[in-house]
Chain A
Amino acid sequence: MRELVSQPIVVEEDFETVDMNINMGPQHPSTHGVFRMVLTVDGEQIKDVTAYIGYMHRGGEKLSENVDYRGGLGYQDRTDYLAAFNTEWVYANAVERLAGIEIPERAEYIRLILAEFNRILSHYMFMGAFGTDVGIFGTAFCWSFKERERIQDFFEAICGDRMMYNYFHVGGLGWQPHETFMEDARWLLDVTTNGIQDIDSLMTENEIMILRCRDVGNLSAEEALDFGVTGPMLRASGVPLDLRADEPYSIYDRFDWEIPLGDHGDVYDRYLVRLEEMRQSVNIIRQALDQMPTSGSVRATLPRVLRPEPGEIYQRQEGPRGEYGIYMVSDGTDKPWRMKVRSPCFHNLGSLKHQTVGSYIADAVIILGSIDIVLCEVDR
């Protein structure tokens, strides 16, 4: 815990100052959803933070235990709704590993491409929201949403939906992507590369941005590991943990890319790491498009009702926010006996108090922004 910079000053004997409690959220504009924190402040300086979560709890895990293995996939769209392909993928992979299903290679490639596009989309969302948090009046937001919109259009062309895709099915994909999938993807990559450059030139070198974000919310590598922080936040603290490289699931071992790491572990590094990750995702997608089989089935033939052998599985994958894991226990029936989600934001959010105490109210906003929380995924 950091030392408080100032101590209360006693002016007169009978004069007493009290700390002020400020309730931030669940309707505050920059708590990114229905997150609530109560700040105890001395002037502008934060002395204590209490976080309240659970406003978005819908019991998705329990609901998944009451539907069959295929049906539970739709609930995954609604946890991390900004990276629904990534979460669908974890669920599909978990069930496939539990039931021992092999899926066609083409389906693997399309899944990977879509998941990486979704990572870019999610990071665009971060850039926009973070820009607003640091105080750029809407420009970063509009620019990144313009780019995000194109990716959403691409997803819509494939699966007819813009957020809750439900396109990855257990055993492959729901249906073949549209005919111009490859050309569209390549065009989108070129456009996205420019979009990333736009965001970069707007924010990265800005003096005020540096002044606000450097050395704010520092987390050392040890602290980050202690809090169970994963994803770009952990890499910003200098820990080279990326499940795509360390435990390559699916076909990630076929690609060559770089993992950005930060030196300070502060808000600015988290921003830089995400920015570079977007470029690396573009890199991965390009390689995948080159290797991808242009025709073939995208669905394995499966029995009508899936009844995996009794057993358990923990499938974890690198989502845009960190390690997204699904633990699933089968008792041999057509429904999972137990289903549990390990969501990265929940664990990343645990470090909020440690980062925030001792800083200013304005810092709390950008620290929360740099965690890039999705409340649906925290509360599930």
Chain B
Amino acid sequence: MPPVVLSEFAGIGLPDWIDALIRIVFVVALMTINAFALIYLERKVLARFQARVGPTRTGPIGMLQAIADAVKLVAKEDVRPTTADRWVFQLAPFFVFVPVFLMFVPIPFTETWFIRDLELGFLYIFAVLGLNIVGVVMAGWGSDNKYALLGGIRAAAQAISYELPMLLAAAGVVIIAASHLPAGEPGALNLNFIAGDQRTTPYLILQPLGFVIFMIGALAELHRPPFDMPVAESEVVGGYFVEYSGMRWGMFFLAEYTALFLIVMVASTVFLGGWSFPFGADLGLGWQLVLTFFKASALIFVLFWMRAIVPRLRIDQLMAFSWKVLLPFALAQVLANAIILTYGGADWIVGLVSMAMLALLMGLVYGQMRLKAGAGTRTIRRRAARPRMITATEVAGGTASGGK
């Protein structure tokens, strides 16, 4: 289906690039507003989990809190440490900010609404996803702060480790999508095709393991608990943006929430069927948009929920979990998909195998934890007795208890 060009509505012929520009402005504006909404929602949701009420004072039920925060951030002084590497320090927020917005290019909000319908949209997302780590490392290095440096290095290590299983997990979907295409025809890497392909069965059913690994990788990629070591308040005091203030800090913050929305958009497109499942293209444009946002919001709620309840992993455990657990499982799934589909297996076999592997993964994690936890504490019943008086001879003879 050809994309709806805005000029068709207007009835006037607009050049293609103006049309693209309008779409870009629309998406950027939408995402900025969305980030404010997410910040407010996260604070409210976390507050409910924590037996608090959250922001209530700014605007009706505190809804303008994020706006007030933004105004405060803009008004604040932009402090640069004297020993910081000037250009590296000042440019770092842009290097984080820009790639996040670049990633919106191929995301299909509805069947016909995206900035550009990239044939290799899937690869594009993962390629640009790797870019913002440059900004993070720049911030960590340029701040001339040891905590920032530690945070930056942690973020880099984490991004390298988790992008791989994340990509492989989603690659399983691409393999299935390719099998739905006529042999030799390209297009399985097109996000819009992947979304449209899930009209009846979302890939969540066919690739539950892939979905779980993708979301775990997303958590690590977004520096959200339990993988928030790069920004861990209680360890590295905020991590790579510890020296930033004012709007530069705000840009990190905005980028973080925009990336959060972007990743769940990708997840909902690739695994939950995006605009397509369960009504297909029959639905109007507006309803498709609602469906997309509903799925994304559901995933975001799960991420907020996790933030409220999970502790943080240690950096070596995080690396070990990625390389020793997630990567082999993701690889095994890709391999299983390829083998089953090459020999003409049905989709449901793929789903069953993936489900079995997910069960194995969860069993392994749970079993190992039970093993590690061992028995709890034992208690000894004690009825206190009257103190025994220690005689002088006992002390002299060295038989008195206490002391070593």
List chain A positions with a Cβ less than 8 A from chain B: 20, 22-23, 28-30, 44, 131-139, 141-143, 146, 202-203, 205-212, 214-215, 225-226, 236, 240, 242, 244-248, 252-253, 255-264, 268-269, 272-273, 276, 360-363, 365
Interface residue B324 (Cβ < 8 Å from any Cβ of A): no
- Selected contact of A208 from candidates B235, B312, B376, B381, CB within 8 Å: B312
A44 B150 Cβ-Cβ under 8 A? yes
Q: Are B382 and A259 in contact (CB under 8 A)?
A: yes
* Contact, CB under 8 Å: A260 / B50: no
Cβ of B396 < 8 Å from any Cβ of A? no
B154 CB, nearest partner CB in chain A, Å: 8
Is A212 a contact of B311 with CB atoms below 8 Å? yes
Please state if B150 and A138 are interface contacts (CB–CB under 8 Å): no
> B386 on the interface (CB 8 Å rule)?
yes
Give Cα A242–Cα B384 distance, bound, in whole angstroms: 10
Residues of A within 8 A of B309 (CB): 136, 139, 202, 206
Query: B113 interface residue, CB < 8 Å from A?
Result: no
Inter-chain contact A257/B382, CB cutoff 8 Å: yes
A-B residue pairs, 4 tightest by C-beta = A135-B312, A142-B50, A30-B234, A248-B384
Q: Is the CB–CB distance between B372 and A210 below 8 Å? A: yes
Interface pair B377/A137, CB less than 8 Å apart: no
Pairwise interchain contact B382-A143, C-beta atoms closer than 8 A: no
> Is there contact, CB below 8 Å, between B237 and A28?
yes
Are B311 and A22 in contact (CB-based, < 8 A)? no
Inside 8 A of A138's CB, which chain B residues have their CB?
46, 50, 308
Which residues in A have their C-beta under 8 angstroms from that of B284? none
In the complex, which residues 66-119 of chain B have their Cβ closer than 8 Å to any Cβ of chain A? Answer: none
Instruction: Give the docked Cα–Cα distance between A117 and B147 (Å).
Output: 39
Chain B 36-65 interface 0/1 with A at a Cβ cutoff of 8 Å (1 = within): 000000000010011110000000000000
Contact A362 B384 (CB under 8 A): no
Chain A: which residue is nearest B373 at the CB level? A210
Residues of chain A within 8 A of B52, CB atoms compared: 142
Using CB atoms, name the residue of chain A closest to B50.
A142
Q: How far is the CB of A46 from chain B (nearest CB, A)?
A: 12
Judging by beta carbons under 8 Å apart, are B235 and A365 in contact? yes
Q: How far is the CB of A151 from chain B (nearest CB, A)?
A: 16
A259 CA to B381 CA, complexed, in Å: 6
Give the dominant DSSP class at B's interface: mixed
How many Å from the CB of A378 to the closest CB on chain B?
Answer: 20
Task: Closest A residue to B315 by CB, please name it.
Answer: A44
**A225-B171 Cα distance, complex, nearest whole Å:** 56
Residues B373 and A132 in contact, CB atoms below 8 Å apart: no
A262-B377, A276-B379 known; A362+B232 contact, CB < 8 A: yes
Would you call B223 an interface residue if the criterion is a C-beta within 8 Å of the partner chain's C-beta atoms? no
Residues of A within 8 A of B225 (CB): 135-137
Interchain Cβ contacts under 8 Å between A and B, 21 examples: A22-B146, A30-B233, A44-B315, A135-B225, A135-B234, A137-B307, A142-B50, A208-B313, A212-B314, A245-B384, A247-B387, A256-B381, A257-B381, A258-B381, A258-B382, A273-B377, A276-B377, A360-B315, A360-B316, A362-B314, A362-B315
User: Judging by beta carbons under 8 Å apart, are B146 and A212 in contact?
Assistant: no
CB atoms of B226 and A135 under 8 A apart: yes
Q: Is the CB of A248 within 8 A of B312?
A: no
Q: Is the CB of B49 within 8 A of A139?
A: yes
* Residues of B with C-beta under 8 A to A253: 383-386
Question: B51 touching A142 by the CB < 8 A rule?
Answer: yes
Give chain A residues whose Cβ lies under 8 Å from the Cβ of B387: 247-248
User: Do A209 and B311 touch (CB < 8 A)?
Assistant: yes
Instruction: Indicate the member of B311, B312, B375 with the most A CB atoms within 10 Å.
Output: B311
**Given the interface contacts A260-B377, A263-B377, A276-B379, does A244 sit within 8 Å of B315 by beta carbon?**
no
B379 near A208 with CB under 8 A, answer: no
Q: Give bound CA distance, A138 to B377, whole Å.
A: 26
A214–B308 CB distance below 8 A = no
Task: Give every chain A residue within 8 A of B243 (Cβ-Cβ).
Answer: none
Known: A142-B51, A208-B226. A263 touches B378 (CB 8 A): yes
Contact at B380–A136, with CB atoms within 8 Å? Answer: no
Contact of B383 among A143, A256, A276 (CB under 8 A): A256
Which residues does chain B contribute within 8 Å of A212, judged by CB atoms? 311-314, 317
A135 near B377: Cβ-Cβ < 8 Å: no
On whether the beta carbons of B50 and A263 are closer than 8 Å, the reply is no
Name the one of B237, B313, B317 contacting A29, with C-beta atoms under 8 angstroms: B237
B313 contacts which chain A residues (CB < 8 A)?
208, 211-212
A203–B49 alpha-carbon span in the complex (Å): 14
A275 to chain B, nearest CB (A): 8
| Closest chain B CB from A188 CB (angstroms) | 17
Task: State in angstroms the CA–CA spacing of A236 and B379 once bound together.
Answer: 11
Closest Cβ neighbor of B236 among chain A residues: A361
Bound CA–CA A195/B373 (angstroms): 23
- A-facing mask of B137-170, CB < 8 A → 1, else 0? 0000000001100100010000000000000000
* Contacts known (A44-B315, A360-B315, A365-B235); A137 close to B46, Cβ less than 8 A: yes
Q: How distant is B395 from chain A, measured CB to nearest CB, in Å?
A: 15
User: Contact mask B300-314 → A, CB, 8 Å, 1/0?
Assistant: 000000011111111
Check A261 against B229 for contact (C-beta < 8 Å): no
Q: A139-B50, A361-B150, A362-B229 are in contact. Are A214 and B372 (CB under 8 A)?
A: yes
Report the separation of the CA atoms of residues A246 and B147 in the bound assembly, to the nearest whole angstrom. 46
Tell me the B210-240 residues at the A interface (CB within 8 Å): 225-226, 228-229, 232-237
B65, chain A: closest CB distance, angstroms? 17
B382 touches A245 (CB 8 A): yes
A residues near B384, Cβ cutoff 8 Å: 244-246, 248, 252-253, 255
